[in-house]
Amino acid sequence: ERLDDNRPMDIIKEAQTRADQVAQYAKQSRIPTGFAEIDKLMYGGLSTVEELVVLIARTNTGKSWVCTKMMESAQKHKFPVLVYSPEMQASFLATRFDTWRGKFANSDLFRGRYSEEYKMYIRNLSQEETSVYVVEDKDVAEGVVNVSVLKSMVKKYGIKLLMIDGLSYMEDEKRSDRDHEKYKNICASLFQLSKEFGCAVVLTMQANRETKENKDEKGVPFPSIENAEGSDHPARIATQVFSMRQIFDKHVLDIRLEKSRNAANQKPILSYSWEVNTGRMEYLPGGENDSEGATVSSVIAPPALPNIKAKVHNDNVSFDIDDDDQEVEF
């Protein structure tokens, strides 16, 4: 492209044009995340104009579960979803979708123990119009997933939410051999993809080992942007950055807003009581981990939870279930 073909916007002479453009953007639909409190912080959910969200957490904290909740919410609200799942097979990841949607015990689904209610649910689900596509490395040529591969699928299937469950697994098409440059290149391309197709992008990153030294006033480690493994460049590019932790002895999931491009941000912490096996989650308003700066809405408490203990390890879950007196790992 010749240099004289470039045409930047003149925001003075084109004042009316750019004002109209922002007004039009404001009318675009937002994608509910499945977390009403997060949606309120983000003016209604994920933007379909331009959005690159980074979720930072240590291993063992259930990042894939949180991503699946966002996936389930988007599909329920008629937004087609594409998920890159480098670690978990599509059919197993889908059981988490079912747990969030139907509150079916994931320990049963994972072992193929299907109730008549679940079988009916599956029949009904297959009739829905809005799709969720899960791509694994084995599904693409040479087993290599890069932005170009995902871009072609976003275009083909009309995707409005692209989720990448592990940035480190993606290939940098510019072939940088340094994580810092690799992540910068990938995320810059993903942000361009978001703007080109009106597709929100959510990706997860591991927090590094230094997170254990990054304790809050409660004495519990909480990752920050600086703890992003490999590079903090994705967080610099991102429109929103959230960090996440679980306090296992209290069965609490904390999500903190680390960065927001447009919203006033006092780093609110949103706390949830979470029963992993049944997908039941209750927001804890005004809890000890909730920031005074958070402006959030309440969530109706779920029914009483069964006596099930859950532990997360490397985004996998083990359940100690009283009814059959055995521990199940997957």
- List the chain pLDDT tens, one digit each, 330 residues: 455 677 899 998 999 999 998 898 888 889 999 999 999 988 899 999 999 999 999 988 899 999 999 999 999 999 999 999 999 999 999 999 999 999 999 999 999 999 999 999 999 999 999 999 999 999 998 899 999 999 999 999 999 999 999 999 999 999 888 888 999 999 999 999 999 999 999 999 999 999 988 888 878 899 999 999 988 889 999 999 999 999 888 889 999 999 998 766 678 999 999 999 999 999 998 754 444 444 333 333 333 334 444 444 444 544 444 444 344 333
Q: How far apart are CA 84 and CA 241, in angstroms?
A: 19
Cβ pair 68, 287 in contact under 8 A: no
Q: Give percent helix, percent strand, percent coil of the chain, each to the nearest 5.
A: 35, 25, 40
Cβ pair 305, 275 in contact under 8 A: yes
Nearest residue to 191 via CA among 204, 182, 200, 183: 200
pTM confidence score:
0.83
DSSP letter at 172 equals: P
Structure tokens belonging to residue 291:
């920031």
Q: What is the DSSP string of 194-211?
A: HHHHT-EEEEEEEB-GGG
Q: Helix (H) and strand (E) counts for the chain?
A: 9, 14
| β-strand pairing of 52-57 with 200-206 | parallel
